Chains A and B, each alone.
Chain A
Amino acid sequence: MTDINDLGVATDSAPVDDLAPERKQRGSLIVAFAWAIVVGWILVALLAPWIAPHDPGTQSLVNRLQPPGTSGHLLGTDAIGRDVFSRILHGARLSLGAAALVAVFTSIVAVSIGLISGYFGGWVDAVLMRIVDIWLAFPGLILAIAMVTALGRGLDKMIIALVLAGWAGMARIVRGETLQLREREYTMSAQVLGVSKPGIMFKHLLPNIMPTILVVTALDIGSTILGLASLAFLGVGIGSDVVTWGSMLSDGRNYISTAWWVALFPGLAIFTIVLAVNLVGDWLRDRYDPRSPFRRAKLDAAMRAAGEGQLDAPGPAEASRVAGDGTTKSPDGGQR
């Protein structure tokens, strides 16, 4: 099925009429700001137990639904008197920590399957990619919900569920990259030299797809955080016994007419971190993703200046190269 990666459209870095220098300046200011936010939240997540003024679980029916600014409660209290500010700080631990775990495990699964599929080709590739198709046929959140429902409640199960739900997209990207790298002559040289298949995968292919993996993971973290928050909001897989921004919003929804702050601040928190993470991801992609046309252009210019020709570009004979098993594959690695 058509996949955004097959289109050859770079979603964000488009050819520019001119790259005004001030634009780049301003751009880097924003990126720096974004990095600051990301680092800031990471620190918050790590230090929450120490910097939070109150215990996030302490209830106080006397103090319920206090507006922000009430003494001792910077952002007010919720329906059962818990301090909103402290809960937000603690909520960061789950949002960031769980998202990080999901990202790491999803990468591992996706890379393994993508590498095997791309390198071995043949029926292995066909079967695995059909499975990827089936996975991708489900609307994103729906699959996550289904997985979570099947696995049961609990943070650990939710993380597993999200990994299971989300590996397919990255696997397809990895497979595409692998298909390209497989045709590189240094890979073929290694084959002829007699290096074992796993050897080639680990020593030649994996290091070269690392940049792509890192960039894709970074770009995905934003939606992972959103997905986690959505699930928490819906009450699927995690109850409001755990401090999450999503469940805070769910509570806040019920009190929207009387206590708007209960819903505003957790949402703001999610918004700022996701925005920052997305901006950082974009920046990483522009800098490190070998597929990004932006980077390719800069790299080529640099290499030409050094008189070296193009680094890492496919060799001249590669255009007519056919795959090792005799079938023709489309150069963009599209699953077709």
Chain B
Amino acid sequence: MTAPIPEAADVAADDTTRPPALELRHLTKSFKVGSESFGRASRVKAVDDVSLQIESGTTLGLVGESGSGKSTIARLVCRLLTPDSGQVLVDGVDVAEGRRRSKAYARKVQIVFQDPTASLNPRWKVRRTIAEGIRAHKLRPRDEIDARVRELVDLVGLPENSLDRYPHEFSGGQRQRIAIARALAVEPEVLVLDEPVSALDVSIQAQILVLLQNLQDLTGLTYLLIAHDLAVVQRFCDRVAVMRTGEIVESGDPSIIHSNPQHPYTKALVEAHPVPDPHRRGAWGIKSSTNGQGSVA
């Protein structure tokens, strides 16, 4: 079903078909720590000369422990932060052209946050939350918004009566589906997933990941998946990049990374996270499926 997975070495070579959906070039971002005035403002490099490419319709997993800078990358990519230097390119176009965060950019890159409870406005009904993006970009005339919202809710596998309920009436997994629906509402090309399943129960994690996979198959979305759990990355990603203290230390095919990690840090990471045998079928065994939530059609 998927296109052949390019080896890390191949990608740098000429890509005659199209530019990568998302590319980061020498991205650097540091933060001030401690008191700002009267000198002695030390800076911490959260992201240090990071470069990545993600081909359209594929998933890149970004792994690392807390503090490695992966969340900062997420924020840089969706422009909640501006980099100190370096570029973010979507479809080969530098996004920094024009204003800091132009509205059109929202149609290119969207984000799903880790904590679905915090990312949904508790006072808003689900309907309004999902419709927010549609309204902001005027993607549908007013009388069609409702139909579109119903489409989206169906797409993420939630019943239609969810629309008139409030976030607190749902479970964590369901809230995450709402968040995904909201992000899809503006029809982005790239979806940044900042640890989308870390806050969920293990059994639910699989469902959400399957949903995401199905959506990708259906729409050709490109994913930047940030996670700290190698198992998740293993099953789901076409390529993996490992981050540590702001830098990418290793990247490549997930199974190769797992079986033959090069960098000592990656080795440590792999050893710390036992991954179920990828050749054994089970809860994790099937990558794309029609069981569980969401149908491809």
Contact = CB atoms under 8 A, between A and B. Distances in A.
A–B contact via C-beta, under 8 angstroms: yes
Nearest to B166: A311
Interface of A: 184-186, 188-196, 199, 204, 207-208, 308-309, 311-318, 322, 324, 326-328
Contacts of B121: 186, 204
Contacts of B107: 194
Given A193-B186, A311-B168, A326 B32 contact: yes
A208 B186 CA distance: 25
B47 to A, nearest CB: 12
B36 A194 contact: no
Contacts of A193: 106, 110, 132-133, 136, 182-183, 186
A189 B109 CA distance: 12
Nearest to B134: A193
Contacts of B113: 185, 188-189, 315
Contacts of B105: 194
Contacts of B215: none
Nearest to A317: B114
B122 to A, nearest CB: 5
B200 interface: no
Contact of B117 (A190, A207, A315, A328): A315
B136 A308 contact: no
B136 A186 contact: no
Contact of A189 (B32, B71, B103, B182): B182
Contact of A192 (B32, B110, B118): B110
Chain B residues touching A, majority SS:
mixed
B93 interface: no
A317 B137 contact: no
27 contacts: A185-B113, A185-B119, A189-B113, A189-B179, A190-B132, A192-B109, A193-B110, A193-B132, A193-B133, A193-B186, A194-B105, A194-B106, A194-B136, A194-B137, A194-B186, A195-B132, A195-B136, A196-B103, A196-B136, A199-B136, A207-B123, A315-B115, A316-B114, A318-B118, A324-B81, A326-B32, A326-B82
Contacts of A309: 117
B79 to A, nearest CB: 8
Which of B71, B104, B132 gathers most chain A CB within 10 Å? B132
A327 B36 contact: yes
Contacts of A191: 80, 101
A188 B137 CA distance: 17
What 8 A-B pairs come out closest when comparing CB atoms? A194-B106, A315-B118, A315-B115, A185-B119, A185-B118, A186-B121, A193-B133, A195-B136
Nearest to A322: B31
A309 B175 CA distance: 13
A324 B118 contact: no
B181 interface: no
B231 interface: no
Contacts of A326: 29, 31-32, 81-82
Contacts of A185: 113, 115, 118-119
Which of B111, B117, B137 gathers most chain A CB within 10 Å? B117
B199 interface: yes
A196 B121 CA distance: 16
Interface in B71-89: 71, 78-82
A318 B117 CA distance: 12
B168 A308 contact: yes
Contact of A317 (B71, B109, B186): B71
A162 B106 CA distance: 44
Contacts of A312: 122
A315 B2 CA distance: 36
A289 B80 CA distance: 30
Contacts of B103: 194, 196
Contacts of B33: 328
A194 B182 CA distance: 12
Contacts of A314: 118
A312 B107 CA distance: 28
B120 interface: yes
B22 to A, nearest CB: 15
